[in-house]
Amino acid sequence: MIKTDDVTLTNFQWPTGYYNDGIEVGLGQSDKLDFGYLVSEVPASAAGTYTTNKFQAAPTKLTKNTINQAHQLQAVVMNSACANSCTGQQGEQNALTEQQLMAQKLGIDANLVGVASTGLIGAQLPMAKITAGIKQLSPHHDDNVTKAVLTTDKKPKHACVQLQMGGKTVTITGFAKGSGMIHPKMATMLGFVTTDAAIDGNLLQQTLSQTVDTTFNQITVDGDTSTNDMLVVMANGMAGAPKLTSTDDADFSTFEQGLHLVLQELAKQIAADGEGATKLVECNVKGAFNELEGQEVAKAIVGSNLVKAAIFGQDPNWGRIISTIGMTNAHVDINHVDIEVNGIKMVKDSLGLPFDEQAAHDSMGASKVVIDVDLHVGDATGQAWGCDLTYNYVKINASYHT
């Protein structure tokens, strides 16, 4: 179990007042769920973070603009196989049409509907299939929607916590997709979080933006930022707990911890499921000059192709780690850097230590490899997650289009 103070992950379940569906409408080349929706029974406070790629996809732009109007949503319609990115005015119209059709189906205002797409860049949405799919969607309380957004993912990613707020049980549940083109700066990544907590929309946006910096923004698979990255949170208040309106509210820190844990767990699951990956790589940095530099160093290490390849080959080559540290803009005392891999001390004061290389090699065969770095220039920390670089990553991406 993973704990953040008093908050613990629990089994997957939807918060009060949400339903979903995931179906197959033939958007891709194989028989799989590829279209779905996520709906709250009532309008919910909403917040989002979005890709920093200059070529922002039509559905991403539409959802961002929709949420920013009043920080409210009631539904999100989503698909895989087609990103609806770099599709010009027709792509923008298709996203808008999809939003309007979903609003009509649910009998709600179009400004309460978000749109999310992932898949191949450059292809127009097949609107006949999208229109037919919207008609087929029906309320369910299973997890099929978590499967409908997958592309090269090996499995769905989801996380859930339950909290006590104002004497009520509040649930926060999230799911995400992401396997390649993962280097969020907010990957191809889509994330959706639902909660029955009540929180002011602007406060939810502020909390989400801050939490993303230490969770989703600290993962990398291949250093590429997608045109469609998006994370959306909906809070419908149906648990009956008092509404959060300020960071000074008694239950705010509890909610913040719960949201952080859900996002962190989803981020780690995405990193572990990187295209072709066999290992989750975690880097923990301490002794950094400030938190930004701690995060920078940690993400640089898990993002280094040389480090990732060494981990795949179970090669305890600490030289690749220390050279990556030296390429960052962080403050570094070049005479006092310490490095451990899976608890095996390899470097002290920037000099190599004698260690059992066979034992280190064997330890790197585990499904998780942990790199610990002490920079000895301050009191700040940083953490990031990535995966190893394997032959299969090249194989998958050499033929992704075909």
Predicted TM-score (pTM) of the model is: 0.86
Q: Does the annotation place 188 within a ligand binding site? A: yes
Q: What is the pLDDT of residue 41?
A: 98
Q: What is the pLDDT of residue 290?
A: 97
The verdict on whether 8 is a catalytic residue reads no
- pLDDT tens over the chain, length 402 residues: 344 556 889 999 999 999 999 999 999 877 899 999 999 999 999 999 998 788 899 999 999 999 999 999 999 999 999 999 999 999 999 999 999 999 999 999 999 999 999 988 899 999 999 999 999 999 999 999 999 998 777 788 899 999 999 999 999 999 998 755 444 443 357 999 999 999 999 999 999 999 998 888 888 765 456 678 899 999 999 999 999 999 999 999 999 999 999 999 998 888 877 777 889 999 999 999 999 999 999 999 999 999 999 999 999 999 999 999 999 999 999 999 999 999 999 999 999 999 999 999 999 999 999 999 999 999 999 999 988 888 887 777 676 555
| 319 membership: H or E segment, kind and range | helix 318-327
Q: According to DSSP H, which parts of 110-218 are helical?
A: 127-136, 144-148, 201-213
Q: What is the pLDDT of residue 351?
A: 97
Q: How many CB atoms are located within 10 Å of the residue 153 CB?
A: 22
How many residues appear in the chain?
402
Q: Do the two domains 3-272 and 280-398 of this chain adopt the same fold? A: no
Q: What is the pLDDT of residue 399?
A: 65
User: Does domain 280-398 fall into CATH 3.10.20.30?
Assistant: no
Q: What is the pLDDT of residue 31?
A: 82
Q: What is the pLDDT of residue 4?
A: 55
Contact 168, 239 (CB under 8 A): yes
Of these residues, 49, 66, 146, 188, which one is catalytic?
188
Reduce the DSSP state of residue 187 to 3 states and report it. coil
CATH code at 3-272: 3.60.70.12
Contact 18, 40 (CB under 8 A): yes
Q: Does the annotation place 397 within a ligand binding site? A: yes
List, as own/partner pairs, every contact residues 58-61 make where C-beta atoms lie below 8 angstroms and the sequence separation is at least 24, other chains included. Answer: 58/84, 58/85, 58/87, 58/91, 58/92, 58/94, 58/95, 58/117, 59/84, 59/95, 59/98, 59/115, 59/116, 59/117, 59/228, 59/230, 60/116, 60/227, 60/228, 60/229, 60/230, 61/92
Q: Does the annotation place 275 within a ligand binding site? A: yes
Q: How many CB atoms are located within 10 Å of the residue 285 CB?
A: 27
Domain boundaries, the chain: 3-272, 280-398
Q: What is the pLDDT of residue 197?
A: 98
Q: Which of 329, 397, 398, 340 is nearest to 374 (CA)?
A: 340
Q: Does the annotation place 402 within a ligand binding site? A: yes
